[in-house]
Structure 1
């Protein structure tokens, strides 16, 4: 059931079930309508026709042209996060609707999760845990991978990528990165062409938005250029990776492991090949989900709405 707060200055539709209290305090003059945890297009169209929101906060689901067409008063779409790939940007631009991301609001959470996956891959954390629980003691045979002296490759050097880079440098890694939008790089980071980053690193971590130009950037051909035993981590968007090609590289032993927090289809379907691959460490797109990020993303989305409406 949709929850509605007392109306004051118009309706804000949230494609989710809740917002942080700090965000609601900023939006206290508005009527807040929640669409639920898994809003489908038809449901969003119906809610927009019924409530005619002045703003939409996007948490879950996709905001399509049809949804926007159902809104006569929509002025701003605010993402509860950084990625805008679930919003039909061309449709919004055509309709004169501002689209704003909560840039940097979950950067610490995602960067930390990326490093959790990197270290889990390098140190075989999940496999050792499972073996211990099954009664094994693998001290005589286990060999982990040290980060010190190895090369960290980053695709994307924004708020998240820069944090991942800083942690890598602090651990004694050489850091290389590709970002076509970066004018400069932090100290200790070398900017290189994409192909050189993919081929030249021991750990590759993706931190870029998904665009038509970079879809499946990691595919059979590019994965074949990676160093033997390299690690791939993706806390960005699943569409950046050809999943079948990555599965082959993991199963063949060409790659040591992969840490994956995003997938081409979410939720990941039952029977997906990754589910049966021991050196694929999986998490359900929760890199940006922390108590602190929940507040900061909500507050950023609320402020983005207020700034656009005040302009």
Structure 2
């Protein structure tokens, strides 16, 4: 066992700037696809004081294998892969690098909205096949349209600013958001479905909001709504969405996250012209990689400093 306290990273790498912050620790990597058994074995071997979570899940069994564990720090903003109740019961603090990937994910959401509204993928394929659809194709103009945001944290608010700049009316639902800018009109969740021309999801996944987008909520939407999800795949009932897209109730969907990741192949969305897919890369930019690593490392240091002082 190392003489220095250990930080386990559930990934294969960490930004050099983050490693500089963790210079007093031994950093142990679990690899890109760590399974529960792998993490349990590493924790038993190294008894880490902290974990930085990039990939995989951290259930109670992993925590029980690491009696010295004080903090589980997410390399990003979504902590749904960490059993937070188990962590709380064991006195382990769970922290997220809030806002570290906000710019990257908001830009991805905008890219998906534009791809859906402007038929970017379909027109590109048609052009490459030698077609010229100017006489028959009409895109959707977003200026003056209403976009409904579910979740108004760092990402949601940054995306709202982009939409406002395009002349869209921005409405949003988030029971925890305070001091919202004037261009976001807070509304009840029902109003999101009823009033939006475009809906974009920016909330964490909880057991309460799993399958938030389902047959019933999709039926409550305007016909021809655009749906974008750069948050968590579990927010959407995928079979219900597919049916809504095929019926025209949803004009197009832009998805960067899925119920099972990596996406299984074959998948019900494969080959659907009006569903634009990306492999959960909204937060995967060079800048966000550094920001998330540094944010996660700072959270580790902050919690360990406090727990050491109070010990």
In the alignment, what sits opposite 1:243? 238
Partner of 1:34: 29
For residue 137 of structure 1, what is the aligned residue in structure 2?
Answer: 132
Which structure 2 residues correspond to residues 57-136 of structure 1 after superposition, within 5 A?
Answer: 57-136=52-131
User: Is the contact made by 1:8 and 1:30 (CA closer than 8 Å) also made in structure 2?
Assistant: no
Residue 168, structure 1, aligned to residue 159, structure 2: no
Query: Partner of 1:188 in structure 2?
Result: 183
Q: What SS class does the counterpart of residue 274 from structure 1 fall into? A: coil
Which residue is equivalent to 2:277?
282
**TM norm structure 1:** 0.97
Structure 2: gaps spanning 5 or more residues: 307-311
Paired position in structure 2 for 1:254: 249
Kept in 2: contact 1:154–1:207 (CA 8 A): yes
- 1:17 — aligned with what? 12
- Please state how far the C-alpha of 1:212 moved relative to its aligned partner: 1.1
Residues in 1 aligned to 2:122 and 2:282: alpha-carbon distance in whole angstroms: 21
What does the per-residue CA deviation read over 1:249-304, in whole Å, with 9 as the maximum and x for residues that have no partner?
11111111000000001111112111121100000111011000000000000000
Match of 2:73, SS?
strand
Residue among 204, 216, 220 paired with 2:211: 216
190-199 or 111-120, which deviates more = 190-199
Q: Please say if residues 120 and 126 of structure 1, whose CA atoms lie closer than 8 Å, have aligned partners that are also in contact.
A: yes
The alpha-carbon deviation at position 8 of structure 1 amounts to 5.6
For residues 280 and 308 of structure 1, what CA distance do their matches in structure 2 show? 42
What CA distance in whole angstroms lies between the structure 2 residues aligned with 1:266 and 1:125? 25
Q: Which residue of 1 aligns with 2:141?
A: 146
Measured after TM superposition, the shift of residue 9 of structure 1 is 3.0
Q: Which runs of 5+ in 1 are unaligned?
A: none
What stretches of structure 1 move > 4 A for 4+ residues in a row? none
Contact 1:111-1:163 at 8 Å conserved across structures = yes
TM-aligned CA deviation for residue 114 of structure 1: 0.2
Do the aligned residues in 2 keep the contact of 1:8 with 1:29 (CA within 8 Å)?
A: no
